[in-house]
Chain A
Amino acid sequence: ETGVTQTPRHLVMGMTNKKSLKCEQHLGHNAMYWYKQSAKKPLELMFVYNFKEQTENNSVPSRFSPECPNSSHLFLHLHTLQPEDSALYLCASSQERPGGLGDTQYFGPGTRLTVL
């Protein structure tokens, strides 16, 4: 266990559904991330939150909507997804410090999403 939890672990949804993924970190970190991992593709960084402020949004379609109410919780709201959005969605957290070159990310177990 890394101290980062994600729920649900598995999710099947239709293209017209609305669902949310939840991530919680118990490490006291100040930054949280959403990644997408598709088969045969590298991990793709989707969103970064630092001190609850979104600092990165790597050209992610608007059908994915992140929310970070505090430094311990991160959500990914999903609506009108496409079958190609089926993937493993990973949450990670890190403690960002000035000049902290070794600040690393700790990953949650992921949510396996299937869009029908």
Chain B
Amino acid sequence: QKEVEQNSGPLSVPEGAIASLNCTYSDRGSQSFFWYRQYSGKSPELIMFIYSNGDKEDGRFTAQLNKASQYVSLLIRDSQPSDSATYLCAVRRGQNFVFGPGTRLSVLP
């Protein structure tokens, strides 16, 4: 079983819609969870992190964490074409970060 799994996509949503990105992880000792966005040819940039069960909102982004189900998600409201990128889920235990393969999101004008 892969440590961090994501649907590779591509996930296509129309402009203005909600994009929902999902991530599951296998290590129950994982402590914190991160979402990064990576544009083609660029390095990952942090969107947000979460470490408590429930929702965390930051502007158009909402991260949701369910440790019992070992599941973390990212919702993007009012999706824009500029949100088109690969979204990486990362799971941290101690100083070890494990990244998922990423989900490619395409927001259609």
- Cβ B102 vs Cβ A45 within 8 A: no
Q: In chain A, what residue has the closest Cβ to B48? A: A104
Chain A contacts to B: CB under 8 angstroms: 2, 31, 33, 40-43, 45, 48, 50, 55-56, 90, 96, 101-102, 104-110
- Chain B binding surface SS class: strand
Q: How many residues of B contact A (CB 8 A)?
A: 22
With a CB–CB cut-off of 8 A, which chain B residues contact A41? 101
Chain B contacts to A: CB under 8 angstroms: 4, 31-32, 34, 42-46, 49, 51, 88, 90, 92, 95-102
Contacts A42-B99, A42-B100, A96-B95 given: A104-B49 contact, CB under 8 Å?
Answer: yes
Question: Taking the nearest CB of chain B, how far is it from the CB of A59, in angstroms?
Answer: 13
With a CB–CB cut-off of 8 A, which chain A residues contact B95? 31, 48, 50, 55-56, 96
- Cβ A42 vs Cβ B101 within 8 A: yes
- Cβ A45 vs Cβ B43 within 8 A: no
Q: Which of A55, A106, A107 has the most CB of B within 10 A?
A: A107
- Cβ A56 vs Cβ B45 within 8 A: no
With a CB–CB cut-off of 8 A, which chain B residues contact A55? 95
Taking a contact as CB atoms closer than 8 A, the residue among B32, B46, B98 that contacts A101 in the complex is B32
